[in-house]
Structure 1
């Protein structure tokens, strides 16, 4: 950490001891789950769950997703006092809602043949979107122009998967099974990430700001030297997708037991 904008550094624990004037590192996770399970009986089973969760704080963890920085315990989160504003809020892994439903059924056919059919549905609400700018010393994506998560959220991600397995009993302790798994059977292509860099220019954060404060006409966003921001420096790709749900995948499998 540095109190003089990177001229000198010291090592400490934010909010404690030598670094007690820095904000304490916070990463709080709270959740509530409702779970239903029908154990395997009469050749079928089912499970369903709903989770409401909240992940809030000012520290994403050992990995910093905003800049892809992997420097455990020494990333840039608390390096400079000028980087501290607007860092509290929903963290990258925050998904408010998660739904999981799974069911399977086994059918016994003549000739020592069994067919198992299973399916699942999963849904997750989107992750928070940040509004980032550049810092004159730490460069792209280091300045939280607006409070963390103020840019909205990515859309829900849905997936329906299925499995069909055929088994053949060849003897008391011998069997052969063939199966196929299809993931994301309807080939949903939800957006999972967007470009969060509002500008690549060096700008100052708008403490407690909102999306309405960003246009140059508002005059609240300024360059690092204090001059009013010019919309010509806005990243044209800001808010556009840069990540998508995995496409449909098919997996075949075979197993021999003896």
Structure 2
């Protein structure tokens, strides 16, 4: 590494940075130890806690039924390889830990947090060669924060990028307020019901053939599954589209399939 060379340095956040630098430009490296207090980045943290309750009635040749309820909590200051808060899906290259000021308020309920999840699945043999199935899933919405510009001129973060957990939603000159991740609102509950019908054809001399009909989202539920989490524009003004849905459930669809096993 050369001082003034620019670019990025890969470090372990929350730990001292130890680098070898060609200070004099003569090819000789000098070890420099930058303490945590100067780096000013927290340790990466992500914790998931869950409890599952489930039941099952095994298939007996006629019908089966199984279901579960899961309570879970995903908490920390980074989601992982991607960052759903601002839509960064370039794995391993998110803005997390890029600048100290962007990590203020970053600890909270993470985007993959779904506190409640109910699942129910069953199948029933109408005839020996005709089986119907159903799959129901109901989940609570994920938590959202408010992303805006960093308001302090202290060198801890860029003042122009919309990347910090600070927002000014009033438009007044009272400054942006810290709005920790997952603390502002929660998305809507969503439910999805899928049905299926499988018919095994009679001619099986050379193998087993099956016709299958699948109907996804039978009730055509159209609840929002993602919302705009950007509260401020780059100039600090309130974003009029904050909290507006950006994605909805996939509409009802039908799939017809044929399989042959030998």
The size of the alignment, in residue pairs, is 219
Aligned to 1:122: 137
Aligned to 2:197: 164
Seen in structure 2, the aligned counterparts of structure 1 residues 72 and 255 have a Cα distance that, compared at 3 Å, is closer
Aligned to 1:194: 227
Is it true that 1:255 corresponds to 2:254 in the alignment? no
Aligned to 2:246: 242
Q: What's the C-alpha RMSD, in Å, of the aligned pairs?
A: 2.2
SS state at 2:58 partner? strand
Structural mapping, 1:109-188, within 5 Å: 114-135=129-150, 137=158, 139-145=160-166, 146-171=179-204, 174-188=207-221
Q: TM-score when scaled to structure 2?
A: 0.76
Q: TM-score when scaled to structure 1?
A: 0.78
Structure 2 unmatched ranges of 5 or more? 1-5, 18-34, 151-156, 167-178
Structural mapping, 1:11-160, within 5 Å: 11-18=10-17, 20-21=36-37, 22-108=41-127, 114-135=129-150, 137=158, 139-145=160-166, 146-160=179-193
Taking the aligned partners of 2:139 and 2:124, their CA distance within structure 1 comes to 25
Aligned to 1:229: none
Contact 2:82 2:93 in 1 (8 A): no
Structure 1 unmatched ranges of 5 or more? 1-6, 204-232
Taking the aligned partners of 2:69 and 2:225, their CA distance within structure 1 comes to 20
Seen in structure 2, the aligned counterparts of structure 1 residues 171 and 149 have a Cα distance that, compared at 3 Å, is closer
